[in-house]
Structure 1
Amino acid sequence: MRYLFLFFVLLSLESTAQVLPNFVVPAGRTKVFETKGDLDKDGIDEVVLAFNTTKKIDRTGYTRELFICKVIDGTLKLWKKNTSVLWNSEDCGFCTDNGIDLSIKIKNNTLIIEQTFWHNTRHTSKHKNIYRYQNNDWFLIGSTYNDDYNCGFHHTYDINFSTKKVHVSYDNEDCEDSVQLYPATEKLFKYPFKSVPKMDGFTPGRTEIKIPNSKQFFYY
């Protein structure tokens, strides 16, 4: 039985290797991030890479591409390419010297991408999005958006698309002790998402939805 299981694993790897093309860095691309981790629970690390393209969009800089590769017999094989989930290289408001604040990591077989937009030196919008490979495709399963204004407010919009649960919190502050703060408030509810969003076509920070029975909105 043990050898039979091993046979099917090797057969599956061989079949995958025949289907997936070798990964070749497209001409003119500049690598901005690379990380490794297991995304399909097979015990073998995948390689995730982010590149700047040669296409520049006004003040937001160069567009970016995400590549997810399998390692088969020591060779990188292209498993997934995405052109929507990464912001442009200078789409960060008051950019730091390193350009857009970007973090990519793999945890619990999921791909976690964090990006930060600086409205000014006190106000940031931080987006954390979690993607998972399931049902033969890539899906957005979780989103956390932190809207922070130093000495002003901390708003958080957290979404679990698998359970359809949304948690919104509003926390206000002021650095002057003489000013009375508004009390923190929270909203926890289920939203009737029609489906779990797919990775392809999704761009963080572009979606606004009205909270049921409220004049407020949540974002992802």
Structure 2
Amino acid sequence: MFKKLLGATLICACAGTAQAGGEGFYVGGGIGQARYDDSLPSQIRDAYRGNSGYDFLSADLRDDTDQAWKIFGGYRFLPWLGVEFAWVDLGEVHSNYVLHSRVPLTNANATIDGLYNISGPSATVFGELDFTDNVSGIVRAGLYNAKTDYDESGTAASGRPHTYSHSESDTKATFGLGLNVRVNPQWDVRLDWDRYQHVGNRFALTDDGNGRFDHIDFVSMSVAYRFGQ
């Protein structure tokens, strides 16, 4: 998918004739793919190490990618400096883990499926460097307020259905790079890579310890409209 997005951006770059600079407001939106780091299984194993009620058997992140999207608006104070605010939906991923009960008379396995859905607003400051008259590179950094909706379902060691839900929000760092192509005075096409750091809380046997993703990478293709150009 990244190669397709890069190819489309390069085509726009070759076709573009507008100047890259210009202050003012802009709005836009983009779609792409989010990839989650795969440290969750080790977090679950560590949480159950030495537990008197359960033995850890296995854990995995069943899928570590999903479609993601964002909408954004920003302002360039100078041709090379601005701020951007966005709503980012990083999609959802699934986990699974299996435990063996040590409780007498039960002596059975518990199988748990987890579903993580992460979204929230971000605020970043960016710097922009012109490569040609219509192509520029962007470097940005800021904060992302990630809301994690976590849902569990499965079968308890007793054989009964198991369900659990919890939501939480935390604000963490984000940074990224972009390649911007100004197709005409009003419209830009942008290829972005963004990283969201330490989303969620490390897996623990607590209400809010549902798992932490050390980083989530989001590659996207966006279009943006500039006002007053």
Both proteins in one fold, TM over 0.5: no
* Superposition TM-score, scaled by structure 1 size: 0.38
Larger Rg, first or second structure (1 or 2): 2
**Counting strand residues as a fraction of each chain, which structure ranks higher?**
2
